[in-house]
Amino acid sequence: MVDEKDMVGAVMVVGGGIAGMQAALDLSAGGFLVYLVEESPSIGGNMLRLDKTFPTGDCATCTISPKLVACMRDLNIELLTMAQVTALDGVAGNFKAKVRIAPRSVDASKCTGCGDCTEHCPVRNVVRDVPGYEPREVGGDERVKVDEILARHRDDPGGIMPILQDVSKSFGFLPRSVLEQVAAGREMPLAEVMRVASFYEEFRLHPEARHIVEVCDGTSCYSRHSKKLLKQLEEHLGIKAGETDEEGRFALRTIRCLGLCALSPVMRVDGVSFGRMTRDQVPQILERFE
Amino acid sequence: MSECIRNSDDLAKAASAGAARLYPAQLKIIVGAGSCGLSVGAGEIEKAAVEAVKELGVEATVIRTGCIGFCGREPLLDLVLPGGPRVSYGNMTVEKTRELLATYAENKGLKPELILGRFEKEEYILTGEVHEYGPAPDELKDVAEWSDLDFYRRQKKVIMRNCGSIDPLSIDESIARGTYQAVQKALGSMSADDVLAEVESSGLSGRGGASFPTGRKWRFAREAEGDIKYLVCNADEGAPGSYMDRSVLEGDPHAIIEGMILGSFAIGAAEGFIYVRSEYPLAISTLDKALADAEERGLLGDDIMGSGWSFRLSVRRGSGAYVCGEETALIESIEGHSGEPRGRPPFPVVAGLWQKPTVVNNVKTWASVAPIITRGSDWYKSMGTETSHGTTIFSLEGTVKNPGLVEVPYGISLGDMINEMGGGTLDDKPIKAIQAGGPSKGCISPDKMDMLIEASAAPGKLAMVGTGSIIVLDEETCVVDMTRFLLGFFNDESCGKCTPCREGTKQMLGLLTDICEGRGTDHTLAQLKRLSSAMKAASVCGLGSMAPDPVLTGLECFPQEFAEHVHDRKCSAGICEMGEV
């Protein structure tokens, strides 16, 4: 303990959760200047995440909100958010602390909470990796083909949907290198292109088999035993639904309702539909696709 | 052939060209080549017919038509006899086609035993005219008249007015049956207010399932602020079991185009989009052709029919996401984003496509507009019931004798539809359950057969419309497994934006799987109900709030079947494989 005359009139509270906030408010009321240090971008801590608190069942937000506002407004409390204590010297009554504050990249005094920064968040635009989805070499011809597609839809108000549909049509799937070219051509982040590409069932990120066999999984087909048809196909092709056989000849999938409900059960090979399927027809039909 | 149509004379000229194609002097062979027909061999039959005609030296034209609705009898082949009636053959094969044409060529008859029915006359819904076919030869006197068939007697084809009667790729044939007369009438002699008032007073309501009054929606959009407004046709018919929109798109694309031109005039929109799901390639190519034809004839684009009114229309393809049938998700998708629904309000009529006022209507709704303009709202109101006007399309599927599409005025009962039009069940097996109105409606028990097809029910009565699919299920179906199947659909198709739907469907699917595999308890059932109410209250769009409905309906209509699975660990249909007790 130092002499009373050497004591500083300021206190540092490390951690801006409910306990730290209450401590800061009490200290401020007692006449101390408080540095409230919090590692995350905002004070509040875990209690902000709670709906109710045990055992009284009080609304957590209702408890904490006035304290958040009080901490912010209190002239005796200085908030140091995105901050970490890196060193501490001295003895009780006269400490020296070193605090490292990370850049916020936003001028907090000017922030109105409009939310525009969330829209343009650079983290949101980090590409999420799909296993095995690597860029591959693209030939000059292919680049030209993609440039043509891009040019065709340059003024299309429909954004990248028509572009991806055309790419999918001419490549059979959406190669990552092509998506990178599309992103560059449209001057938008690759992550945004990927978000659309991965949302729709029809877009494939990997090369496909030569022939796609699809079994309709609509309600009507289900009621007319499409499960048995799928099982027969699985046995016949030696693969499960969602897989491709080893020689890359057939890929087997289910598809939600082809709209041929009066002719259930239905299957489709390379876009050609076959209705009223029976057991004997399966091998005959598959034979036609080499 | 490709002259611009600028007035009623031009329209009449195109109509007579179309009529010459519709009723040629020589034999006309019509192959039902919608997706339904093609999937069971209509393509080969058409080829056989063309070859046979050539070999036999018969003077005949062979054309394709869209879906006539009698899907259970596909492939269908019709003959329009020179100076005689039109007769319809069902369950055709390549051999039967060759045989039929050979006997015809030798004047040895028409094989009446293969005929489903004959047409004496056909009404043109748009104009009210009736085309009378020539007298039937003696050997056909005993063949049933088409409108006397059980399947057709109670039907009134307004939306599907031209489906199965015209070559969908021929704009002239469509014009010959009255198409584009409504456009000519509206742009030539009516004000936008008149058109809107006519649609409002007709009581037309949305045919997509929610039955929102179309006129009111149009008025909202018309009165919304802004110079730029859009129209959208929702042809993303993703609900399993429904395919009526596809039939209209494939069979009579001009009906939709005409409806949208009328809508654009009434609302003040200069541009429109038809959003078609990618699973319907034939519908997309048919629409593309129809749009190109309409533009070439000056019926679409700038200065339509010389009236000064301009409207551009284009096709947008979906890419396989059911949620895009939800209007705000559909709008997101047209804008080129992933199809995640938006929060509401603001509603699309205020801020839709590119934040401009947008009217989104279903295929059937757009196709219903033109007859209201040509025949008047009173005529339209004369069909249906007090509260629900007009007609709507249902698909009969599952174990019925006559699966297919039926268009009926509102007010018919579910039982009549299944037993009379559908002809009852195959082998007259008892009906265990009916999956009516799309996946969100679940399975109802057969004691609800007196349920009426109506947008809103009279007190004490049940009513349903939904997406219009009616799937009849027999004793071989397990309702619990069916419910799991339906929930699996929602689980797959949830877009993942909001938590109640994304996590709720997953958890409910897990609980139902527990029941199906013999691990269910009373607690499981209670949890299902609790999750249902949370999802209904908190989901962003209709997909999440309707997903629990099949479970709730199943629990309500088949409590004993759920109890059997949970308490006795037994599945009497033999579908669920129960583990050890």
CB distance B395–A262 less than 8 Å? Answer: yes
- pLDDT tens digit sequence for B498-543: 889 999 999 999 999 999 999 999 999 999 999 999 999 999 888 8
Nearest residue in chain B measured CA to CA from A199: B338
Strand pairing report for B86-89 and B77-80: antiparallel
B429 to chain A, minimum CA–CA distance in Å? 14
Given this model, what pLDDT does residue B94 score?
Answer: 95
Given this model, what pLDDT does residue A223 score?
Answer: 87
- Name, in order, each residue with C-beta under 8 angstroms of A215's C-beta and a sequence gap of 6 or more: A221, A226, A229, A230, A233, A241, A252, A253, A254, A255, A265, A266, A267
Nearest residue in chain A measured CA to CA from B489: A256
Chain B residues within an 8 Å CB radius of A203: 319
Chain A residues within an 8 Å CB radius of B399: 223-224
SS (H, E, C) B257-275: HHHHHHHHHHHCCCEEEEE
Is the pLDDT assigned to residue B580 strictly greater than 60?
A: no
Max mean pLDDT range (B168-172, B384-388, B444-448, B474-478): B168-172
Rounded to whole angstroms, how far apart are CA atoms A166 and B412? 45
Identify the sign of the CA torsion A88, A90, A93, A97: negative
In this structure, whether the domain defined by A211-286 belongs to CATH 3.30.70.260 is answered with: no
Structure tokens at B49: 């017919």
B307 to chain A, minimum CA–CA distance in Å? 27
Rounded to whole angstroms, how far apart are CA atoms B553 and B443? 7
Mutation target to probe the A interface, by most A beta carbons within 10 A, among B36, B38, B39 is B39
Q: What are phi and psi of B492, to 5 degrees?
A: -65, -40
Tell me how far apart the terminal alpha carbons of chain B are, to the nearest angstrom: 75
Given this model, what pLDDT does residue B581 score?
Answer: 47
**Unique residue bearing structure tokens 């339906």:** B486
Among the partner-chain residues B39, B398, B403, the one whose CB lies closest to the CB of A273 is: B39
Is the pLDDT assigned to residue B304 strictly greater than 50?
A: yes
CB distance B321–A217 less than 8 Å? Answer: no
CB distance A264–B397 less than 8 Å? Answer: yes
Return the CA Rg of chain A: 31
- Name, in order, each residue with C-beta under 8 angstroms of B352's C-beta and a sequence gap of 6 or more: B230, B232, B327, B328, B331, B358, B359, B360
Given this model, what pLDDT does residue B416 score?
Answer: 92
Given this model, what pLDDT does residue B436 score?
Answer: 86
B334 to chain A, minimum CA–CA distance in Å? 6
Is the pLDDT assigned to residue B199 strictly greater than 90?
A: yes
CB distance B336–A161 less than 8 Å? Answer: yes
CB distance A262–B469 less than 8 Å? Answer: no
Mutation target to probe the B interface, by most B beta carbons within 10 A, among A124, A128, A202, A220 is A220
CB distance B339–A263 less than 8 Å? Answer: no
Given this model, what pLDDT does residue A139 score?
Answer: 77
Report pTM.
0.85
Mutation target to probe the A interface, by most A beta carbons within 10 A, among B246, B358, B397, B487 is B397
Mean pLDDT is lowest, of A65-79, B108-122, B442-456, B511-525, for: B442-456
Given this model, what pLDDT does residue B2 score?
Answer: 66
- pLDDT tens digit sequence for B409-462: 998 999 999 999 999 998 889 999 999 888 888 888 998 888 888 877 666 666
DSSP string, B313-358: EEEEE--S-GGGGSHHHHHHHHTTS--PPPPSSSPTTTS-GGGS-E
CB distance A263–B71 less than 8 Å? Answer: yes
Structure tokens at B87: 């007769």
Among the partner-chain residues B338, B403, B473, the one whose CB lies closest to the CB of A196 is: B338
Sheet holding B358-362, edge to edge: B312-317, B271-276, B230-235, B358-362
CB distance A259–B243 less than 8 Å? Answer: yes
A37 and B CB contact within 8 Å: no
| Average pLDDT across chain B, whole number | 92
ipTM of the complex model: 0.87
- pLDDT tens digit sequence for B336-367: 999 989 988 899 999 999 999 999 999 999 99
A78 to chain B, minimum CA–CA distance in Å? 37
A119 and B CB contact within 8 Å: no
CB A82 within 8 A of CB A104: yes
Q: Using a pLDDT cut of 70, give the percent of chain B over it.
A: 98
Structure tokens at B334: 């047209």
Structure tokens at A53: 């608190």
Tell me how far apart the terminal alpha carbons of chain A are, to the nearest angstrom: 89
Counting beta carbons within 10 angstroms of the beta carbon of residue B389, is it exposed (0 to 12), middle (13 to 18) or buried (19 or more)?
buried
A65 and B CB contact within 8 Å: no
Chain B residues within an 8 Å CB radius of A274: 39-40
- pLDDT tens digit sequence for B363-421: 999 999 999 999 999 999 999 988 889 999 999 999 899 999 999 999 899 999 999 99
CB distance A262–B316 less than 8 Å? Answer: no
A220 and B CB contact within 8 Å: yes
Given this model, what pLDDT does residue A3 score?
Answer: 80
- Which CATH architecture does the domain made up of A117-207 adopt? Orthogonal Bundle (1.10)
Mutation target to probe the A interface, by most A beta carbons within 10 A, among B228, B337, B355, B487 is B337
DSSP-based three-state secondary structure for B541: coil
Chain A residues within an 8 Å CB radius of B73: none
Q: Which of B203, B189, B404 is nearest to A220 (CA)?
A: B404
Please state the rounded mean pLDDT for residues A5-17: 90
Give the Å distances, CA to CA, from B460 to A274, B116, B457. Answer: 44, 40, 8
Structural domains of chain B, with CATH: 23-148 (3.40.30.10), 180-378 (3.40.50.11540), 391-474 (3.10.20.600), 479-567 (1.20.1440.230)
Per-residue pLDDT band for A11 (boundaries 50, 70, 90) equals very high
Given this model, what pLDDT does residue A208 score?
Answer: 83
CB distance A219–B240 less than 8 Å? Answer: yes
B310 to chain A, minimum CA–CA distance in Å? 19
CB distance A263–B74 less than 8 Å? Answer: yes
The CATH number of A8-103 is: 3.50.50.60
A259 and B CB contact within 8 Å: yes
Give the number of beta-carbon pairs within 8 Å between A and B.
Answer: 144
Mean pLDDT is lowest, of A195-199, B125-129, B134-138, B466-470, for: B466-470
Q: How many CB atoms lie within 10 A of CB A164?
A: 24
CB distance B238–A260 less than 8 Å? Answer: no
**Unique residue bearing structure tokens 């009962």:** B413
Is the pLDDT assigned to residue A1 strictly greater than 70?
A: no
Identify the sign of the CA torsion A169, A171, A174, A179: negative
Could you state, in order of their start, the residue ranges of all structural domains in chain A? 8-103, 117-207, 211-286
Is the pLDDT assigned to residue B40 strictly greater than 70?
A: yes
A269 to chain B, minimum CA–CA distance in Å? 11
Strand pairing report for A250-255 and A211-216: parallel
The secondary structure element, H or E, covering residue B392 is: strand B391-398
Nearest residue in chain A measured CA to CA from B332: A158
Q: Using a pLDDT cut of 90, give the percent of chain B over it.
A: 75
Given this model, what pLDDT does residue B14 score?
Answer: 95
DSSP string, A234-247: HHHHT--TT-B-TT
Chain A residues within an 8 Å CB radius of B492: 256
DSSP-based three-state secondary structure for A104: coil
Rounded to whole angstroms, how far apart are CA atoms B199 and B205? 10
Chain B residues within an 8 Å CB radius of A255: 279
Is the pLDDT assigned to residue B229 strictly greater than 60?
A: yes
DSSP letter (8 states) at residue A124: T
CB distance B316–A161 less than 8 Å? Answer: yes
| Average pLDDT across chain A, whole number | 89
Give the Å distances, CA to CA, from B506 to A105, B321, B448, B542, B546. Answer: 39, 18, 30, 17, 14
- Name, in order, each residue with C-beta under 8 angstroms of B77's C-beta and a sequence gap of 6 or more: B29, B30, B31, B32, B45, B49, B88, B89, B92, B97, B100
